[in-house]
Amino acid sequence: MRPDGSEQELFQLAFLNRISAGGNKVAWNQLEPDRRWGGRDYAVVVAHDLRLGRTVQLTRKTKLFAPVLSPSGAQIAAVEFTPERSCALVVLDAESGQEQERFPTPGNDFLQSPAWSADGALLVCTRQEAGGTAIAVVDLATGQWKTVVPASRETLSWPVLYRHYVLYNSPYTGIDNIWAIDLENSQRSQVTSRPYGAFNASVSPDSTMLLFQVYTADGYNVAEMRLDLVYQHTPRSGDYQSALFSARGALFFPGLRRHHGLRLQAGYERQVPQNYHFASELPFPRGYHPVFHHIFYGYHRLCHPPALPGPEPGHVLLLQAPQGDLVRRLGAGQDHQVHETYTASGVELAVDFRLFSLPLELTAGVRCLYRLKQKDTVLEPIFFGVSF
């Protein structure tokens, strides 16, 4: 893919879990079945030289995963996981495939997604420990491991090194985005704020641009941004300066009958934009188009599902019990001396269903809201559990 968005197909690959590029080479691993024993297979490393147009299998009868080329293209790091459940990070010569270095993981923890530093002196990866997922860095000169993000149940993935930071995927706010951890002071910051998720950071060779995947209504796409910005006050000055504080909570209460319930939600958000606006972390009241406010607060939701009878299942369409909610949504925004309120009350009706015997469960319904200030009624369809 070129900067103008055009694409050129170089060659076709079988199923793989990762592809890496560096120094005019491309590397990946692929499955190699044993020629004699049907229950045995191997994971071998393959490299393609973009200048020569030549593809070479570098290893034989190995169990190597997630290979990644060094920035110069001279070496390949990969995770070795043997049938004896022994795990290590190995470094190969990118021309011959010969093993140059080996770094066993402390405690024989399982490693994933290795990545090189720009100078080729460090490797970073995720490490599966008893307490969850951690991010660790190994110094190739000393062989010493250093944990930079302690193990937790947070889903951490795809770490990459950028100067004295490690960038990685995390759903810390409830939405997958790219975060950064400072190797010098362990300060953690959010780098991207995409409403449907940003993943898999890749730093340009000159360390000025960040490329990453974003999820949109049309599926995955590639985005880029300057690496001067780190969300929620950058570790250093840059072209973009802004700040955001957001908090929300919810209370759940049982209803009077089975399947009845009451849910209350409230939140507060304050933005201090200078030359950049963050996407809001609070859901905007239904029935209104989202509007940016420096201060947004008082979001309430009252939910009380009434009892509805469930239809009999059919052969083509399998219906579950319809869902009904009585809702009241409140919101208020403030910008300097301007204060705006958003109030809507109404009902939501939806039903979950399946077509034929397919395992995919779908949701369809309608939301009817009365907007108090506008004195009008808004109908909104619900489909796949997503409102339009």
Phi, psi of 34 (to 5 degrees): -70, 140
What one-character DSSP code corresponds to residue 184? T
What pLDDT shows up at residue 55?
A: 92
Sketch out the chain's domains with CATH numbers: 19-243 (2.120.10.30), 253-387 (no CATH)
- Backbone dihedral region for residue 39 (phi beyond 0: left; psi -120 to 50: alpha; all else: beta): alpha
Task: Return the half-sphere exposure (C-beta side, CA atoms, 13 A cut-off) of residue 19.
Answer: 10
CA angle 119, 209, 137 (to 5 degrees): 40
> Cα–Cα distance between 112 and 220 in angstroms, integer?
22
> Cα–Cα distance between 127 and 156 in angstroms, integer?
9
What pLDDT shows up at residue 277?
A: 65
Q: Within the chain, which residues score under 50 in pLDDT?
A: 230-238, 306-312, 385-388
What pLDDT shows up at residue 264?
A: 79
- Map 301-326 to HEC letters: ECEECCCCCCCCCCCCEEECCCEEEE
> Cα–Cα distance between 48 and 43 in angstroms, integer?
17
> Cα–Cα distance between 216 and 59 in angstroms, integer?
38
- Give, in order, the Cα–Cα distances in Å from 127 to each of 4, 88, 182, 279, 301: 37, 11, 18, 31, 40
> Cα–Cα distance between 147 and 166 in angstroms, integer?
11
> Cα–Cα distance between 98 and 101 in angstroms, integer?
9
What pLDDT shows up at residue 287?
A: 84
61, 66, 4, 55: which is closest to 29 by C-alpha? Answer: 66
- Give, in order, the Cα–Cα distances in Å from 327 to each of 33, 236, 257: 57, 44, 18
> Cα–Cα distance between 146 and 150 in angstroms, integer?
10
What pLDDT shows up at residue 385?
A: 45
CA angle 169, 93, 57 (to 5 degrees): 85
233, 158, 176: which is closest to 167 by C-alpha? Answer: 158
> Cα–Cα distance between 273 and 277 in angstroms, integer?
6
> Cα–Cα distance between 269 and 196 in angstroms, integer?
19
What pLDDT shows up at residue 236?
A: 43
> Cα–Cα distance between 309 and 298 in angstroms, integer?
34
- Give, in order, the Cα–Cα distances in Å from 170 to each of 177, 201, 229, 316: 6, 11, 17, 40
